């Protein structure tokens, strides 16, 4: 069960080598593999080559592991709309979709990544943000996420990433979450994932709504004008409602309150005419800028700070129509990165290059089988072994949970699986095969890809203290779920020391472990200028537009106060939702009866962005005996929301443990002002953060 020797390539990627008589990693047809970390390229930064049968077989098999739902991004929500170009960028691109004034029909699908189609809306997870433009020149699919970077630098590692983060192979849990052994085992062995981990452990993976999150194309693309001149471009979606996230505890309770919270939020916003909007922004730069950076712009684990290249707004996306049939539209829509139009082009980003020939096969063959090599006439007559798994008509029964690499399972007494072999593995001839081909065919990474920590440090240090506490606490929670692999948490903390010493100490202290030695960095990180654009808290809009305010009332509540509060919330663009112990409402102080929008027991405060409590003395006395009322106020306070309460409600606030601060007000104009934001300064007093 030896792990063999581990060597590192020019990009800092780990190569676990077979030694002696250990099992050698092979293709499904028994051909030994020499390098399982890098796809075959024409030159160090050249395009990925179609002759790379190792990459093609690995991705081909992976694409068919789940039928019929998507392997990743299985749980999705979609909507129709249009994109309107608002700026003339003909000097950059000849694409018709960017002609000023042009309106293009679109279909957008938002999704989680790790969970299955039957999972929930609110786990800590990356969100997919895929847009299909039905342009006059053909379909353009911008298939991105709500985070501008990714875990890996080369598409050949995508199956390993997803295998590690999905349900563990031998037990089929946990669902829709990364807080478990195999993901953190993999991540701790893949330093290139560190920058993405900062984002994943931040509040970016707990969005308040699809309507309040950014979208990114992730990769560097090219814009091409009518003269054939090309510029590099990064693509951004900026929400008109601003950025907002939930609190981790709130997200857990949202799951209990409504498994379809974000799906419902999107549907109802469109159904009521509150059409979500995003501005499309571009960061454009040339080769000279690219070569001057301390990172490689074709590295998907890197972003370009907006302070270095400002985002230029070129159009607006509006979603104005819900699907007529979920299966026919949202489930069957097929996004392909290869769907491109004149005026837009690809780069040699090795992650993008792999996606370009993966998606078509995925979408075209969701009911097919990848296991044709197990049919006797096709089966190799020599031993073979790899980490490909499952699929239709699978006849083998792999044991254990080693279905990804690198892994350290052997060091913990488990079977670690086969390893690549430089000596026995197939090697491609590096010399050019034609006079028009430039450079060598190589399985390598550019040396700048070896910097795995500088931008992770940039991201962490660009956050507010509250966001940094959330990141540290997220690492503590997730790593605390690592079970028998006791080497993993110290190894991850050792990596974090390259990001920020204070972060590493906080995580180690939260886990109750000694601070380990700093992990050697393949390339020493550098300090980069802080970027305010990377922080959710620094970009939140103080507004009630698109937000919901829950107003708890009971028998005898003051009618004038209730009416004034509803009017004030709606005047600011918010949605006032009346909540009462009985859904048919209660008689008010003026003798009128007010119907509630939701029953207290089924309408918890985590459904709202702020809450108010308008009750009489008798009404408060009754609510003191109602656990749901106490929890309603307690959760709102714990989730850092504004609370507007009448003087008669003070006993309820006292019982819920609410302490007076600037976010606890009277139910008048001061509450409406406070309701536009969260009160993160409150958090250290109510929960222990790392």
Active-site residue list: 73, 145
Evaluate whether 141 touches 130 at the Cβ level (below 8 Å): yes
Cα 460 to chain centroid distance, Å, stands at 16
| Nearest-angstrom CA–CA distance, 662 and 680 | 11
Q: What is the dihedral of CA 187, 192, 193, 199, to 10 degrees?
A: 150
Q: Which residues contact 51 (CB under 8 A, 6 or more apart)?
A: 40, 428
| 442 backbone dihedrals φ, ψ, rounded to 5° | -135, 145
Q: DSSP assignment, residue 314?
A: E
Answer for the pair 588, 556: CB distance below 8 angstroms, yes or no.
yes
Report the alpha-carbon distance of residue 168 to residue 403 in Å, rounded. Answer: 9
Distances (CA, A) of 441 to 47, 351, 427, 433: 10, 17, 10, 9
Neighbours of 501 (CB within 10 A): 12
Residue 395: which residues within 8 A CB-CB, separation 6 or more?
371, 374
Residue with tokens 């009128």, as numbered in its chain: 592
Distance separating alpha carbons of residues 432 and 429, to the nearest angstrom? 8
Beta strand ranges found along 584-689 (DSSP E)? 586-587, 593-594, 598-599, 610-614, 643-645, 664-665
H helix runs in 276-320, sequence order: 287-292
What is the distance between the alpha carbons of residues 386 and 513, in angstroms, rounded to a whole number? 35
The Cα–Cα gap between 640 and 490 comes to 32
Nearest to 157 by CA among 36, 65, 53, 11: 36
Question: With 0-12 CB in 10 A as exposed, 13-18 as middle and 19+ as buried, what is 517?
Answer: exposed
CA 70 from centre of chain: 16
Task: Check the CA dihedral 315-277-533-262 and report its sign.
Answer: negative
Q: Is the dihedral of CA 237, 238, 240, 243 positive or negative?
A: positive
- Measure the N-to-C terminal CA separation of the chain; round to a whole number of Å: 36
Fill in the DSSP letter of residue 581: S
Structure tokens at 11: 């990009």
Rg (CA), the chain: 27
User: What is the bridge-based pairing of β-strands 312-321 and 215-216?
Assistant: unpaired
Cis status, amide bond into 174, omega within 30 of 0:
yes
Contact between 48 and 155 (Cβ < 8 Å): yes
C-beta separation of 398 from 386 below 8 A: no
Q: Are 111 and 263 in contact (CB under 8 A)?
A: no
Asked if 363 contacts 343 with a C-beta cutoff of 8 angstroms, the reply is no
d(CA 278, CA 335): 20
**DSSP code, position 251:** H
Dihedral sign, Cα of residue 57, residue 190, residue 293, residue 9: negative
């Amino acid at each position: 069960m030896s792990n063999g020797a581990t060597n590192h390539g020019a990009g800092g990627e780990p190569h676990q080598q077979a030694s002696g008589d250990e099992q050698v990693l092979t293709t499904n047809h028994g051909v030994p593999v020499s390098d399982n970390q890098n796809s075959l390229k024409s030159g160090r930064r050249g395009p990925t080559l179609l002759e790379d049968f190792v990459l093609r077989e690995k991705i081909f098999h992976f694409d068919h592991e789940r039928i019929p739902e998507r392997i990743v991004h299985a749980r999705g929500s979609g909507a129709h709309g249009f994109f309107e170009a608002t700026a003339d960028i003909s000097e950059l691109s000849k694409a018709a979709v960017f002609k000023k004034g042009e309106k293009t029909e679109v279909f957008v699908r938002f999704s989680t990544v790790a969970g299955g189609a039957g999972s929930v809306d609110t786990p800590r997870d990356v969100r997919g943000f895929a847009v299909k433009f039905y342009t006059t020149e053909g379909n353009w699919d911008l298939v991105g996420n709500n985070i501008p970077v990714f875990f890996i630098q080369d598409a050949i590692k995508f199956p390993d990433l997803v295998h590690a983060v999905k349900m563990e192979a031998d037990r089929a849990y946990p669902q829709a979450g990364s807080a478990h052994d195999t993901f953190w085992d993999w991540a701790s062995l893949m330093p290139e994932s560190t920058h993405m981990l900062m984002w994943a452990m931040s509040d970016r993976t707990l969005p308040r709504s699809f309507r309040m999150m950014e979208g990114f194309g992730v990769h560097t693309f090219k814009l091409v004008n009518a003269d054939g001149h090309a510029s590099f471009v990064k693509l951004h979606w900026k929400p008109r409602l601003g950025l907002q996230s939930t609190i981790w505890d709130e997200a857990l309770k949202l799951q209990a309150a409504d498994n379809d919270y974000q799906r419902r939020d999107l549907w109802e916003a469109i159904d009521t005419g509150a059409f979500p909007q995003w501005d499309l922004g571009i960061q454009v730069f040339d080769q000279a800028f690219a070569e001057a950076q301390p990172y490689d712009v074709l590295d998907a684990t890197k972003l370009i700070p907006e302070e270095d290249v400002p985002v230029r707004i070129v159009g607006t996306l509006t979603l104005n129509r819900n699907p007529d049939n979920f299966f026919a539209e949202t489930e069957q829509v097929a996004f392909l990165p290869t769907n491109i139009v004149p005026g837009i082009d690809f780069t040699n980003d090795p992650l993008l290059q792999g996606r370009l020939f993966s998606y078509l096969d995925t979408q075209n063959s969701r009911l097919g089988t990848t296991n044709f090599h197990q049919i006797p006439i096709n089966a190799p007559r020599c031993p073979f072994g790899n980490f490909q798994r499952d699929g239709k008509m699978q006849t083998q029964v792999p044991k254990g949970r080693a279905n990804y690499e690198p892994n350290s399972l052997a060091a913990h007494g488990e079977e670690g699986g086969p390893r690549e072999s430089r000596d026995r593995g197939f090697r491609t001839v590096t010399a050019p095969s034609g006079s028009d081909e430039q450079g060598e065919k190589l399985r390598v990474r550019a040396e700048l890809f070896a910097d795995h920590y500088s931008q992770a440090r940039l991201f962490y240090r660009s956050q507010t203290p509250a966001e940094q506490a959330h990141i540290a606490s997220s690492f503590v929670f997730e790593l605390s779920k690592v079970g028998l692999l006791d080497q993993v948490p110290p190894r991850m903390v050792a990596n974090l020391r390259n990001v920020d010493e204070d972060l590493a100490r906080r995580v180690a202290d939260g886990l109750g472990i000694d601070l380990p030695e700093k992990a050697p960095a393949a390339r020493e990180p550098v300090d980069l200028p802080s970027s305010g654009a990377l922080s959710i808290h620094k970009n939140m809009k103080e507004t009630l537009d698109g937000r919901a305010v829950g107003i708890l009332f009971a028998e005898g509540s003051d009618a004038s106060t209730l009416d004034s509060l509803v009017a004030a919330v709606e005047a600011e663009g918010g949605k006032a939702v009346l909540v009462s112990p009985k859904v048919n409402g209660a008689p008010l102080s003026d003798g009128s009866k007010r119907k509630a929008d939701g029953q207290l027991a089924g309408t918890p405060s985590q459904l709202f962005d702020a809450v108010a409590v308008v009750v009489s003395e008798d009404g408060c006395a009754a609510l003191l005996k109602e656990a749901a009322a106490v929890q309603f106020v307690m959760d709102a306070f714990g989730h850092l929301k504004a609370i507007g309460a009448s003087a008669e409600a003070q006993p309820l606030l006292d019982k819920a443990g609410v302490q007076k601060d600037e976010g606890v007000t009277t139910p008048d104009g001061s509450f409406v002002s406070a309701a536009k934001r969260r009160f993160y300064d409150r958090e250290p007093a109510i929960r222990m953060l790392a």
